[in-house]
Structure 1
Amino acid sequence: MASKPCVRARLAVTASIFALAAGAGQAFAQEATQVEDVIVTAQKREESIQQVPIAVSALSSEALNEMKIEGGSELVRAVPNVSFSKANFSMYNFSIRGVGTKAISASSDPAVAVSFNSTPLIRNRLFEQEYLDVQRVEVLRGPQGTLYGRNATGGVVNMIPNLPSHKFEGFIKGEAGNYDSRRMQGLVNVPLGEAFAVRLAGSMTKRDGFDYNSFNDTHVNDRDLWSTRLSLAFEPNDRFRSNLIWEHFEEDDQRSRTGKQLCTTDPGPTSIGGVAITSQVVRNRLSQGCLPGSLYSDAAYGVPNGGAFAHVFLASMNYGYTADRQAVYAVNPGVNPYAGLTQSRDLREIATSYDPIFRVKNDVYQFNMEFDLSDNLKLISQTAYAKDDYYSSQDYNRFVSNPIFNSSEGLYDVLGRPIVAPTTPTPGGYYNDPQLGRSNRMLSVDLSRSDNRQWTQELRLQSSYEGRFNFSLGANYIDFKSNDDYFVFNNLFSFLAEYYYNVVIGAPSNLGRQTQPCTPATTKECIYVDPTSLDNLAGDGHNYFRSKNQIHTRSWGVFGEAYFDLTPEWRLTAGLRYTDDRKVSTPYPSQLLLGADRGNPGQLSGGYVSRDYPALPDIDQQWDAVTGRLVVDWKPQLSFTQDTLVYASFSRGYKGGGANPPRVDINPAVIQYQPLAQTFDPEYVNAFEIGTKNTLAGGALRLNATAFYYDYKDYQVSQIVDRISLNENFDSRTWGLELETIWRPNRNFRMDANLGYLNTRIDDGEGSIDVMNRTQGNADWTVLRPWLQVPSNCVAPTRHVQTILQRNLPADTTVAALQALCGGSLRTGTFNPNFTSNLPFWRIYGFTYDPLTEAPNGGRGFNADLSGNELPNAPNWTANVGAQYTFFKDDWELTLRGDYYYQGSSYARVYNTTYDRLKAWDNVNVSVTLEKPADGLIFQAYVKNLFDKTPITDSFTNSDDTGLTANVFTLDPRLIAVSVSKRF
């Protein structure tokens, strides 16, 4: 982390630049070159950015190229109080003023509305694909509850493409760089008579991988993507205009969704309450896998205690005996698959036997019409259809286990007879998983895939009268369908499904023989093993985890905004919107290692079915909301400015709620575990803002400032609980300041800078269970790991844990008893005497205990007090300073440019612990451009991330049953490239 004096020095430099710009403006007024005006559609009408009473940043295609902003993720370098990071499950978090998308379930919506040509897209690739033939990008900060409506509580990012024009033009660009980067862009615009025009643009990027996989000796996280856009324009007369746009994006490479996986290893306790723990099996099962240490410490580059995993514990089944009567286990009792392993300190180096796969296809179709009903009244229609298909698979852990399987060949039964079978589970110490293949190690791979479709229609009636009153009235409708799947495969899951339940428990005499097929007619309890490969997955097996989510969202709204010129200097803007949202979620409970038989479903595993994923009844949710804004702006005539706008506004924003994904479908007569909320609430924000926009020094200096305050209700934040993304709601308060300036004292020199300060605070009385610290330091309670089907850890009274440990019974019995304290376990039941079980051996310990009634939050743990904590991904400071100087020589222009970006420290989670801390980071980018404008010829060289820094931009904590590892996300490494382009 940067030291405080260093941070203060950086901020002082930034402030000095603002002061220098303001103070020196008049001195350069005589030779000043005016800062170019930018026309925006922030109010869905064309206006100068300096005349819009909204905090908005706009970047033209020229500005994007100068700053080398080539995709949505890089907008952080141009907009104050903005942060960005990739997130788990193919998501991203673009945050404005601390308001982003920390709710990542299938039914959650982004808090920053992302629009393509003013059409909102709930699922999109605008932060993954590279900008293509862009006219400008607008970033509106603050809730936009009237014109943009739902899901714009944080703001709006609107990418506006170039449309066909009535002149012939073309462009071609080629680029080469490090990582064997090759990029091409091109466009052609062709007028077809007086009424028609067509524009075709395309781009492609190929680049080698940023990350090194030391196990396979391969480079992964590469790029292989391309985009095309075809636009048609039809203007038969002066009163009617229309255009049709089709944009296609496709990617097929080895991009990683997440970065390295970090862990401060938890070896497990050596004693509890003074009772020594001598068994490695028991010690492992009292470990939570990873401890909540800093992600920046050397210890963070450890691995989880794999011996803590329930699937490792259960795999220590007895195969038989050697000739000298030594027991042979599938996996040795007490083994830790990751024992002795550490990770490289290089965040760009992983070790995995499975290289990632990343495939995306995205299409957006948009049809726009404008009809002038009169000289001052316009009717606008926007119709859009979007389709997005996504497939991404990668190693779940990004590190490789030790060999763990023992050979099942040449063994004897308890009577000393050879075990003869047509097949054995692990011949030669290798298990052949139907999805992951043959290995002697523990393998774990995930798969995220989705199929999304959206249809949108908007109608607007806009006036442009010369008088003192104008308006905009409209209505829109969105129909969005999403089918999302997330899988986690582990060869121990398949092994247990085949040989533990189907053989050992179902029919003990079948050990080492062919398993009985698992069918609906099977007489014993069984768990279906899907035989299909990852590339052609049937998806109906119970030998892997599957979160299946189907969401159908329908939303309609009516809105209006009126503009009153009270005097030549004063204007009143009043907007109102009514939104009606309906979401229907079809819950498909996960079925990992759950099975059934015809006579007594789930008597052993707790399941109801052996195969497939039956749906529960739909969850039908509906909300309506009234939002809008009220703005007063003033345009005073001041002696020291050429143009000044001062405004004050109140706005209200809304974002819909949703349903939490369904958990495991466990039969409560067999296994009990803690209840969780089925749904989460919508978000609402009341925002107050004052701002000023100024043009000074004869147009050479632009200086804008904003101050804001948010009263936020029910901000949505997710964490993994019971293998699902559990969404919780928190109230908060936020205030902040923003400064933006552009200074161009002459035609040679230009400087632009922005500064953002943000102060966020979660309200008093808010709390949440921190899965990394469930006891909150209370020594009277101990964290325990549950039975395999129960996904999350629990807390239990330390005195009961001591009682169990003091009996010093065999490790298997001790572990089973400890697991039962979490609510129930196979055959052992629960310590609740009213709960019926096959083997209620809790009586041998001499106490009764019901975690659902006697433990905090049903045994889930103690709430952490969040009062006064900062919101996640809300850095206190962001700053950017960029400067360029152009040398003019004959017909040539040589421009040197440098940009410095700084983002202060923040937190990845609401708990604000050391584990959550994200250090401040900075970034430098430089470019050199040689241009001959008369010929449309440009040569450019640039370096991004000049000092090759690798900051952690965010992290995500995985589930309890996989050890609470942390997926971290970072920036691209240093990129160097040269390009040549020709416009004609």
Structure 2
Amino acid sequence: MAFSACVRARLASSASAVVLLAAASPALAHDNSEMVNVSQPAAQEGERVRDVIIITAQRREQEIQDIPIAVTALSADDLRGMRIEGGSELLRAVPNVSFSKANFSMYNFSIRGIGTKAISASSDPAVAISFNNTPLIRNRLFEQEYLDVNRVEVLRGPQGTLYGRNATGGVVNMFPMLPTNEFEGEIGAEVGNYNTRRLTGMINVPITDTFAVRAAAASTQRDGFDYNSFNDTWVNDRDLWSARLSAQWEPTDRFSANIIWEHFQEDDRRARTGKQLCTRDPGPDMVGSTAVTDTFIRNRMSQGCLPGSLYDDAAYGVPNAASFPHVLIAGAFASIGRGADGMNTYLVDLGVDPYEGLEQSRNLREIATSYDPLFRAENDIVQLNMEFALTDRLRLYSQTAYAKDDYYSTQDYNRFVSNPIFNDTNVLDTPESRIPGGVYTDPQLGPSDRMVSADLSQSDNRQWYQEIRLQSEFDNGFNFSLGVNWLDFESEDNYYVFNNVFSAVAEYYYNTSTGTGIHPPGAVGGTVTCGDPVLPPHKECVWVDPSPLSELVGDGHNYFRSRNVVQIRSQAVFGEGYWDLSPDLRLTAGLRYTRDRKITTPYPSQLLLGAQMDGQPGPSSGGFVSRGYPALPDIRQSWGALTGRLVLDWTPDLGFTNDTLIYASFARGYKGGGTNPPRVDLNPGVIEYLPLAEDFEPEYVNAFEIGTKNILMDGRLSLNATGFFYDYTDYQVSQIVDRISLNENFDARMWGVELEALFRPNRNLQLHANIGYLNTRIANGEGSIDVMDRTQGDPEWTVLRPWAQVPSNCIAPTQHVETILNSSMTDTFKWFGLQALCAGSSRFGSFNPDFDTTIPMWNFFGFTWDPLTEAPNDGRGIMADLSGNSLPNAPEWTVSVGGAYTFFMEDWELTLRGDYYWQDASYARVYNTDFDRLRSWDNANVSVTLARPRDGLSFDVYVKNVFDSTPITDFFVNSDDTGLTTNVFTLDPRLIALRVTKQF
């Protein structure tokens, strides 16, 4: 692995700080009510007293060093010491883990290269996120901060036997603190930079000898991290709070029950994504041996952005918006009246680039937008757990849970501001003035003289879960765990893209919902109402939703809407047996059968689509309906999968260790498939539409693992090592195609090693480290079309933009492109001819009623061409060979080191701590190009804690992200018709805070 000089210096300084100052609790030893600390006998002053860490990774209480699974457990003290405030920061404590936000409302928590790269309302997480053993399909792992936590367990590798949902990557399981029979409480307050204000509190009250309640709450407020230079505001702030109430009842030794309610809520201006980057594409100046001299034609051959490295200065450009189809329509067809010269004037000037001459700040924390983000999330979980002792040796467990999650996030779609573009209707020789002073008022986005675009991600989810499990506690060398579970999940996800040019085109080219100001091509004046039976035959209705964004009706065709309604029903029966073959040899065998059923109701998008009246001839947008989003027939899918694991573990007496576990395992993992979101509902009689896969396949993995866990030096050193090999079938990965997240499947294999160490030579000093190495390779013969490079460098093919309603770019033979460019036709006719080379674009009823749509356009240029039979993949592009490429978000190396040194004074303890994390370079996409490459990045945290244990008082000063790093941790690419811009994600900036905590 190649460290830069800067990273080497940081690692050296951090390691020095760790050794000299040291740190507190690592990822291997903890204090927890269920992770009971058992002191070794006869420990002398200054010796290491080893914690016996009890966890439930196998659904029974066991010491972590006795479990033949690669698992990391973090107590509340660990999380506090390492300043891990939420699930997104767990990567700093677990080897071979990466995390980043993803597009829409998703995130990607990846273990050993396996994460959730499939973006679909019907996709399952590869790493299961569980709350007290309840799997949550939708959750707030990214946003929510940990509150009154007992422990967090991170299990690496497929978990196909015991846990409530099959997980091919692993499980993150958070266990809350439950009521105890002692009165206790805690209150904490924190202040810091960015005007941070954080409050936490907990109280535990035993009501009777058998009944106790516990309440906890936390609130965080913080000013924004990112500067909006256009509005002179700070955005990406935090305003969130959590609360949890729980009750525990143990009326007898044979029965106990607890109920938990947890609520999370956020309402602020958090940015869902980071800055948007683009290496501007001016369009080709040469095609083959032909010079492209006309600026309009060059712009129409531009894809908006080029696939340049995101670390070059050129990446801070803006897209060539003259290539956008909606800008073209507004300048070529949307007449707003006639000027004094008697000529038609259009919404914008033909060929205008709204972003011409603009450049962005090189600061990833600075954006420019007239539209500040809004972020709202609300999540509730209610869980009832019951335990019955049927006999002294058999226990029955029941877990019932309900979860509800609502999400709303809107922000600027581009995060840079355009030039003024709208033409002024006041200067026109017409009686109306709908765009006075060149200011157009969009019903959702309000008034502006610039092109304004925003998106909205919205979801409403609910889930029921029930599990019943029977577990034995025999002492005859055999035990088992048997169970069944049911999961019922319903979701509606809506994703919108608003653009005031969309609305203006809908109002001025098509019909209007207000019934005024309709100007069809070649005519001025005229007033009709959407759906009017006397509608002129050359007009059609495109409904403009008049409702504001805050009260959106959602039935308009003046914006893009992707509506996804999904139901998931899952049932499973599972079991695991444990045989002590000898005093030091154990066999574990488990099986699980899962039956998944998914019902998806597709609602095709309808951007700028309408329906002609009574089938009258004339221009058509290619739609079927004028208003609303009718559903297509339900898509029903089901899978049945048999998974499980087989483990052999050995506890030899090696002499040079105090305790050793050696194990080998095989596990079979499965994750269900799903459906791709619905695309545009186009009329094939007007616009031919290339087919794409309607669904994607489930994932399967065969995982082989060997490992050893060791206690050495009389408990002073814990040293664990793991090696693994995965054979993966149909890994799910998505990219944006035709305005949707198209999910594809790829076979792959991966292998790696993991080392975890904890060294505590005396009671003052503690050091810990973990190192992960990961090698991932996509299987030979796998391929995919790269939307950023559709020709794959083949000069025989040229990228073109299709007709306006077809969302994705295409490729066409360079010789045909040259023929059109060298013809004697007008530039406008050349433009029509170039578009016609794309499949789906040879018919133009939409904006050209004078053309005979039965005659292919290329006939006018003297050649024949059928893209559906003569072009690779129907003209969508040439497949990129993915053979041997790395999986996305799978860095080869991850390194975490940390330490603490505690000075024990008479009544006080002073602890100095430092932690350092480094992640190797990786790729954001499967294509592994320079554009995809993510540079290595690091993160350092230090803290000083002064505590008076006898009074339960502590003072903490900490610095997170000491070097104020702003790495690009991941990205996603937008659609072709919005220029293939790139949305990047990064870390929070340097945070400095003082915290005071009082326990009682």
* TM-score interval, smaller chain: over 0.9
After superposition, where does 1:655-694 map in structure 2 within 5 Å? 655-694=671-710
TM-score when scaled to structure 2?
0.94
Residue 221 of structure 2 corresponds to 206
Q: Which amino acid aligns with 2:400?
A: T
**Quick one: distance in 2 between partners of 1:735 and 1:726?**
27
**Quick one: distance in 2 between partners of 1:465 and 1:950?**
54
**Quick one: distance in 2 between partners of 1:395 and 1:171?**
41
| Aligned with 2:791 (options 767, 775, 784) | 775
Q: Deviations over 1:950-973 (max 9, x none)?
A: 000001011000000000000000
Q: Is residue 817–residue 828 contact of structure 1 (8 Å, CA) maintained in 2?
A: no
SS at match of 2:761: coil
Q: Is residue 461–residue 472 contact of structure 1 (8 Å, CA) maintained in 2?
A: yes
Matched, 1:370 2:387: yes
Matched, 1:615 2:631: yes
**Quick one: distance in 2 between partners of 1:11 and 1:981?**
31
Matched, 1:35 2:50: yes
**Quick one: distance in 2 between partners of 1:442 and 1:7?**
42
**Quick one: distance in 1 between partners of 2:113 and 2:484?**
29
Matched, 1:181 2:196: yes
| Aligned with 1:482 (options 491, 497, 518) | 491
Shift of 1:501: 2.2
Residue 574 of structure 2 corresponds to 559
| Aligned with 2:415 (options 381, 398, 401) | 398
Q: Which amino acid aligns with 2:691?
A: P
Shift of 1:376: 1.6
Using the aligned pairs only, state the percent identity: 68
Q: Which amino acid aligns with 2:311?
A: Y
Closer/same/farther in 2, CA of residues 192 and 18 from structure 1, 3 Å limit? closer
Q: Is residue 406–residue 461 contact of structure 2 (8 Å, CA) maintained in 1?
A: yes
Q: Is residue 518–residue 528 contact of structure 1 (8 Å, CA) maintained in 2?
A: no
Q: Which amino acid aligns with 2:524?
A: L
Q: Which amino acid aligns with 1:959?
A: S
**Quick one: distance in 2 between partners of 1:792 and 1:448?**
22
| Aligned with 1:229 (options 244, 265, 274) | 244
Q: Which amino acid aligns with 2:782?
A: E
Residue 36 of structure 2 corresponds to none
| Aligned with 2:475 (options 466, 469, 472) | 466
**Quick one: distance in 2 between partners of 1:774 and 1:29?**
69
Shift of 1:518: 4.3
Q: Which amino acid aligns with 1:963?
A: G
**Quick one: distance in 2 between partners of 1:680 and 1:16?**
50
Please identify, of 817-826 and 175-184, the stretch whose mean Cα deviation from structure 2 is larger: 817-826
Shift of 1:324: 5.0
Matched, 1:845 2:861: yes
SS at match of 1:166: coil
**Quick one: distance in 2 between partners of 1:914 and 1:842?**
36
Residue 426 of structure 1 corresponds to 435
Matched, 1:511 2:491: no
Shift of 1:638: 1.7
Closer/same/farther in 2, CA of residues 281 and 653 from structure 1, 3 Å limit? same
Matched, 1:975 2:991: yes
Q: Deviations over 1:513-564 (max 9, x none)?
A: 5453346885641100000011000000000000000000000000000000
Residue 112 of structure 1 corresponds to 127
Matched, 1:356 2:373: yes
Unaligned runs of 5+ in 1: 22-27, 413-418
Aligned length: 966
Closer/same/farther in 2, CA of residues 288 and 945 from structure 1, 3 Å limit? same
**Quick one: distance in 1 between partners of 2:573 and 2:200?**
40
Shift of 1:823: 2.1
Shift of 1:735: 0.2
Q: Is residue 176–residue 979 contact of structure 1 (8 Å, CA) maintained in 2?
A: yes
| Aligned with 2:450 (options 441, 465, 472) | 441
**Quick one: distance in 2 between partners of 1:13 and 1:875?**
23
SS at match of 1:452: strand
| Aligned with 2:281 (options 263, 266, 274) | 266
Residue 30 of structure 2 corresponds to none
Closer/same/farther in 2, CA of residues 302 and 66 from structure 1, 3 Å limit? same
**Quick one: distance in 2 between partners of 1:269 and 1:620?**
45
Matched, 1:634 2:650: yes
Matched, 1:884 2:895: no
Shift of 1:838: 6.2
Shift of 1:272: 1.4
Q: Is residue 673–residue 822 contact of structure 1 (8 Å, CA) maintained in 2?
A: no
**Quick one: distance in 1 between partners of 2:525 and 2:96?**
62
Closer/same/farther in 2, CA of residues 256 and 303 from structure 1, 3 Å limit? same
| Aligned with 2:465 (options 449, 456, 459) | 456
Q: Is residue 11–residue 916 contact of structure 2 (8 Å, CA) maintained in 1?
A: no
Shift of 1:809: 2.9
Residue 272 of structure 2 corresponds to 257
Shift of 1:597: 2.2
Q: Which amino acid aligns with 2:280?
A: T
**Quick one: distance in 2 between partners of 1:710 and 1:288?**
38
| Aligned with 1:934 (options 924, 928, 950) | 950
Closer/same/farther in 2, CA of residues 769 and 517 from structure 1, 3 Å limit? same
Q: Deviations over 1:702-755 (max 9, x none)?
A: 000000000000000000000000000000010000000111111100011100
Closer/same/farther in 2, CA of residues 8 and 207 from structure 1, 3 Å limit? closer
Residue 292 of structure 1 corresponds to 307
**Quick one: distance in 2 between partners of 1:512 and 1:182?**
59
Please identify, of 835-844 and 122-131, the stretch whose mean Cα deviation from structure 2 is larger: 835-844
Matched, 1:196 2:207: no
Q: Deviations over 1:889-911 (max 9, x none)?
A: 11100000000100000000000
**Quick one: distance in 1 between partners of 2:165 and 2:700?**
10
Closer/same/farther in 2, CA of residues 227 and 521 from structure 1, 3 Å limit? farther
TM-score when scaled to structure 1?
0.95
SS at match of 1:465: coil
Please identify, of 580-589 and 806-815, the stretch whose mean Cα deviation from structure 2 is larger: 806-815
Q: Is residue 530–residue 542 contact of structure 2 (8 Å, CA) maintained in 1?
A: no
Q: Is residue 687–residue 843 contact of structure 2 (8 Å, CA) maintained in 1?
A: no
Residue 25 of structure 2 corresponds to none
Q: Deviations over 1:601-624 (max 9, x none)?
A: 896110000000011110000000
Q: Is residue 836–residue 857 contact of structure 2 (8 Å, CA) maintained in 1?
A: no
Shift of 1:390: 0.5
Closer/same/farther in 2, CA of residues 795 and 238 from structure 1, 3 Å limit? same
After superposition, where does 1:937-956 map in structure 2 within 5 Å? 937-956=953-972
SS at match of 2:356: coil
**Quick one: distance in 1 between partners of 2:966 and 2:244?**
34
Unaligned runs of 5+ in 2: 23-42
Shift of 1:776: 0.5
| Aligned with 1:382 (options 378, 382, 399) | 399
| Aligned with 2:750 (options 734, 747, 752) | 734
Matched, 1:715 2:724: no
Matched, 1:544 2:559: yes
Residue 181 of structure 2 corresponds to 166
Residue 578 of structure 1 corresponds to 593
**Quick one: distance in 1 between partners of 2:93 and 2:56?**
18
Matched, 1:144 2:120: no
Q: Which amino acid aligns with 2:413?
A: Y
Matched, 1:750 2:766: yes
**Quick one: distance in 2 between partners of 1:658 and 1:506?**
44
Q: Deviations over 1:646-685 (max 9, x none)?
A: 0000001000000111111101111112210001000000
Matched, 1:282 2:304: no
Q: Is residue 425–residue 499 contact of structure 1 (8 Å, CA) maintained in 2?
A: no
Q: Is residue 882–residue 927 contact of structure 2 (8 Å, CA) maintained in 1?
A: yes
Closer/same/farther in 2, CA of residues 518 and 430 from structure 1, 3 Å limit? farther
SS at match of 2:317: coil
Closer/same/farther in 2, CA of residues 30 and 937 from structure 1, 3 Å limit? closer
Q: Is residue 259–residue 383 contact of structure 2 (8 Å, CA) maintained in 1?
A: yes
**Quick one: distance in 1 between partners of 2:248 and 2:383?**
12
Residue 894 of structure 1 corresponds to 910
Q: Is residue 669–residue 836 contact of structure 1 (8 Å, CA) maintained in 2?
A: no
Shift of 1:851: 1.2
Closer/same/farther in 2, CA of residues 512 and 216 from structure 1, 3 Å limit? farther
**Quick one: distance in 1 between partners of 2:14 and 2:731?**
32
Shift of 1:4: 6.2
Q: Is residue 150–residue 653 contact of structure 1 (8 Å, CA) maintained in 2?
A: no
**Quick one: distance in 2 between partners of 1:946 and 1:371?**
50
Q: Is residue 596–residue 603 contact of structure 1 (8 Å, CA) maintained in 2?
A: no
Please identify, of 148-157 and 700-709, the stretch whose mean Cα deviation from structure 2 is larger: 148-157
Q: Which amino acid aligns with 2:96?
A: N
Residue 76 of structure 2 corresponds to 61
